[in-house]
Structure 1
Amino acid sequence: MIKILDCQYEVGGRIKLAFSDGTEGVFNLANYLKNRRGELLEKLKDELFAARCFIDAGALCWPNGLELSPQRLYELVHHKQVA
């Protein structure tokens, strides 16, 4: 099971991620939010809030309780097709 070990927020809504298999990738949060809606996601449009990301139990999280799946983020940053 893949986990996220580290995250570094970069200006413009990009988050550099380090995964438990030794790979790294960049998750484009700004692009991810373009086609998604939801109360928890709306807060991430504020770059100061989005920059407060952290890792908890291998997942990418924010102080409002939002948690993004490490497996899905791995697929997104490594451009894996999901059926």
Structure 2
Amino acid sequence: MFLIDVTQVHALPDRRLNLTFEDGLCAVVDMDAIVKTYRGVFLPLLDDRFFRQVRVDPELGTIVWPNGADVCPDVLYSAATGGGEGGGGKG
């Protein structure tokens, strides 16, 4: 797969993210599969207030949280197009 950077993110209820990628794809991705599978650094994301602190790090080209948690843009893109963890779909 190839890296397509995330350019915008908006947190939605129920640990979902509205993501925009540099190729123009906009999609809602359900992050529960990632958050609940890979505890560790993702454990704080179970708290809605913390989850909503997500932002895009333009240097990394992906989303990050204040505790250093991030998700590979390839994983997010795959989820956004229905091809991987996190579910998702074009929105």
TM-score by length of 2: 0.80
CA gap of 1:81–1:31, structure 2 versus 1, over 3 A, is: closer
Q: Does 1:60 align with 2:75?
A: no
Structure 1 residue ranges (4+ consecutive) displaced by more than 6 angstroms after TM superposition: none
Which of 5, 18, 31 aligns to 2:33? It is 31
Q: Does the residue aligned with 2:33 lie in a helix, a strand or coil? A: helix
- How far 1:25 sits from its partner (Å)? 1.0
Contact 2:75 2:84 in 1 (8 A): no
Identity %: 27
The alignment yields a C-alpha RMSD, in angstroms, of 1.6
Instruction: Work out the number of aligned pairs and report it.
Output: 81
Question: 1:5 corresponds to which residue?
Answer: 7
SS in 2 for 1:67: coil
> Could you list the runs of 5+ residues in structure 1 that have no partner in the other structure?
none
Which residue number in structure 2 is paired with residue 41 of structure 1? 42
Residue 17 (structure 1) aligned with residue 45 (structure 2)? no
Offset of residue 60 of structure 1: 0.6
User: What amino acid is the match of 1:70?
Assistant: P
In structure 1, C-alpha distance between the alignment counterparts of 2:70 and 2:18, rounded to whole Å: 16
Task: Find the aligned partners of 1:11 and 1:81 in 2 and give their Cα distance.
Answer: 21
